Every structure is written in C-alpha cells, then in structure tokens.
Amino acid sequence: MIGDKKVLFSGMQATGNLTLGNYLGALKNWVSLCDEYECFYSVVDLHSITVRQDPSELRQRARKLLTLYIAAGLDPKKNCLYYQSHVSGHAELAWILNCFTYMGELNRMTQFKDKSAKHADNINAGLFTYPVLMAADILLYQADVVPVGKDQLQHLEITRDIAQRFNAIYGDVFTIPEPYLGKTGAKIMSLQDPDKKMSKSDENANASVYLMDDPDTVMRKFKRAVTDSEGCVRYCEEQPGIRNLIDIYGACTGKTPAEIEKEFDGKGYGDFKMAVGESVVAILKPLQERFAELEKDKGYLDGIIKENGEKAEYYALKTLRKVQKKVGFPERIR
Ligand code: ATP
Ligand code: LTN
C-alpha cells in the first residue's frame, strides 16, 4: 500500500513500434487506473537487451515509448512513468532473487523456449533469467496487482512462487501480486490473419496498425484487411476478420456489437471498412498531435523523467534495503 491505495505495476518493452492492439488492449485501459491504484509504468529497457539492440535506436525507442505513455493519457503527476535502467534496484534485487530461483523453474518458461528458438545464435543468460528480472520489477514496488496479457501469466506465477519462497524463509517481506483482471480491452487480431493477435513484431506491416501510422496508411490497411465471403457484418466465430473489425470499431466508438451490426445491416464490407478506418484515424489523431507536441518539449519530458525516476527510486530503495538486511548484507554506514 502507498497511502490508502494498492500498488499497480506494469511495463512495456521498447522493442518495435506500438500497435493499435497495444493501445486498445493495454495503454488506453491503464489511464483510469490511477484513481484506484498507485501506478508505476516502466519502460523496461533492461529487458530489451536480452536480444541484441542497436544502442541509439534503443535509446530513441525508449524515449518514444515514455512519450507515448503520456500522449495516450497517462498523467505523469498521477502515474510514475520511468525508465527501468534509471533505478538500479531492479538489477540489484534481480541478482538476489536469482539466488532463490531454480534452473528447473526457468527451464519451463514458454517465452524462453520461443525466444531461444527465434534467437538461436544468442541464447544468453539474461534471456534465461528474464522472468527473475520481471519478478524484481514487480516485487520492488510491493505491487498488489499487475495488468499483463495472457502470454505473461506464467511469469507472474513464477514471481509469486519466488516471493512466497523468500517470505517463507525471511518473514513477510514481499507483497504477493495478483494478475489484474479488471476491465481489459478486446484482444485485437492481425488484419491479415485474424486467428493471430496483432503484434508489434509481425513481419507483415499490413497486419498491424501502428500508433504513428498516418491516416492514408491506416485507411489502406483497413481496406486490405482480410475478411470473408459472407458479405454481412455479423459478430460471430465463423467470421473472425469481421469480428475483429467490429471489436476495433466498438473500442474506438464505444458502440456495442449489436449496435454495429444494425448500423451496417444491408451495407457492404467496403462501407464498413471505411467506417472502421475512420474511427481509428479519429482516435489516433489526438494521440499523434499530443505526441508531436511532447516530443518538441524536451525540457518538460526531461523534468518528468527525472522526477518520476526519483520517485520510483525512493520506493524501490525502501524494499531493496529491507531485503539486503534480511539476507544478511552488512549495514550501510553512509
Ligand atoms: P511482441 O510482438 O514484441 O511480443 P506485443 O505487441 O505482443 O509485442 P507486448 O509488449 O507483449 O506486445 O504487450 C504489451 C501489452 O499490450 C500487454 O499488456 C499486452 O496484453 C497488450 N497487447 C499486445 N498485443 C495486443 C493485442 N493484439 N490485443 C490486445 N492487447 C494486446
Ligand atoms: N515481459 C513483459 C514486460 C514486463 C512487465 C514487467 C510486465 C517486464 N517487466 C513487470 C508487467 C510487470 C512483456 O514482454 N510484455
């Protein structure tokens, strides 16, 4: 708890450009959570180097992601938005937790298996212990809740196991976090293969709408979106492409699937795709404008990075010092 609020922690990697899926499925829903929770949202750049990165590109992407957090509506006065690499406690706690994590547990992680297959030439120890760093992120802030996608639930489970193991030895040190299952947005699917989720690492640029796509590009991608030969706008399992477009249109306009079916009753896919494209352009426009303004204001952003980094560090150190004492490190004189 911080004050009378429970703590929420989440993070995103600055790899690839954020998609409409990241926005509708995560970012957009994060905005209102600060009323109920004390929120920490990190740009997890330590995690990013588990795969090879170009240094200047990583730096630029990380800054862009932090700027996007704000452009998407996360108020930096109410949410702690910061770089993971600016708070050394993440790496320090990760080391300690490494000593409380078993190789066998890490061997079972499906993301490790997937990523090592994908990066067979660079299966480094960091990739293997990635979940321990993630556990450190969460436990460092004594987070009660963690909004994550389904693919990250296994990492949250190991975080809980590590925390419980540590607590069993040293007493009540860590809060045991729960996945945040509150109001989550729809899962947005690829525009080219509606059985696959829209993902920032998709190689086919037409499959994903990026938050920085200009209106023409957005419209073109929706025009080319894969549908079916049914010819009617209906929200059903048999029409995954149309179903996905209905989800997107609904998330952008607040309309329900039933209202959307009615609106496009008797109309063709062409009209429907245009409407979906326009609704996406309409939500991306203010976001992009705000992003452009923020990017110009270097001083403002730097101020936020400094202030929020210090705030994160304050809470991180509270936990870290407690943990260091528990495991038996000598007391600090200074
Ligand atoms: P990558 O392709 O690099 O794995 P990603 O686009 O799948 O990335 P993540 O970085 O794994 O995204 O996830 C960031 C957040 O965005 C998570 O909370 C995740 O649940 C959410 N998210 C990602 N893709 C979608 C999607 N298609 N629909 C809804 N939410 C999504
Ligand atoms: N592994 C996550 C990003 C991430 C995270 C976290 C999410 C790193 N640390 C702590 C929640 C809490 C991902 O790839 N989506």
Ordered by start, the domain boundaries in the chain are 6-180+298-327, 215-293
Contact 219, 247 (CB under 8 A): no
Residue partners of 169: CB distance under 8 A and separation at least 6: none
Does the beta carbon of 12 lie inside 6 Å of ligand 1? yes
Task: Say what the pLDDT of residue 150 is.
Answer: 81
Radius of gyration of the chain (CA): 21
The rounded Å distance from CA 218 to ligand 2 centre is 28
* Whole-prediction pTM: 0.93
Give the class (CATH, top level) of 215-293. mainly alpha
Does the beta carbon of 137 lie inside 6 Å of ligand 2? yes
Task: Say what the pLDDT of residue 16 is.
Answer: 75
Return the CATH fold of 6-180+298-327: Rossmann fold (3.40.50)
| Ligand showing the shortest atom-to-Cα distance for residue 130 | 2
Confidence label for 4 from pLDDT (cuts 50, 70 and 90)? very high
Please name the residue whose Cα sits nearest to atom 9 of ligand 2. 134
Quick one: average pLDDT of 118-135? 95
Cα torsion 192, 197, 198, 201 to 10°: value is: -100
Residue partners of 93: CB distance under 8 A and separation at least 6: 136, 139, 140, 316, 319, 320, 323
H helices of the chain, where?
20-22, 28-30, 45-48, 55-71, 89-98, 103-107, 110-118, 125-128, 130-140, 153-170, 215-223, 240-253, 257-263, 269-296, 298-327
Q: Is 2 helix (H, G, I), strand (E, B) or coil?
A: strand
Q: How far apart are CA 135 and CA 176, in angstroms?
A: 11
The rounded Å distance from CA 10 to ligand 2 centre is 6
The rounded Å distance from CA 317 to ligand 2 centre is 20
Task: Say what the pLDDT of residue 151 is.
Answer: 83
Does the beta carbon of 134 lie inside 6 Å of ligand 2? yes
Contact 303, 82 (CB under 8 A): no
Q: pLDDT by residue (tens digit) across 264-313? A: 999 999 999 999 999 999 999 999 999 999 999 999 999 999 999 999 99
| Ligand showing the shortest atom-to-Cα distance for residue 201 | 1
**Matching CATH topology for 6-180+298-327 and 215-293?**
no
Residue partners of 247: CB distance under 8 A and separation at least 6: 186, 187, 188, 189, 257
Task: Say what the pLDDT of residue 56 is.
Answer: 96
Pocket test for ligand 1, best of 10, 13, 19, 22 (most atoms within 8 A of CB): 22
Q: pLDDT by residue (tens digit) across 169-223? A: 999 999 999 999 766 667 899 999 999 999 888 889 999 999 999 999 999 999 9
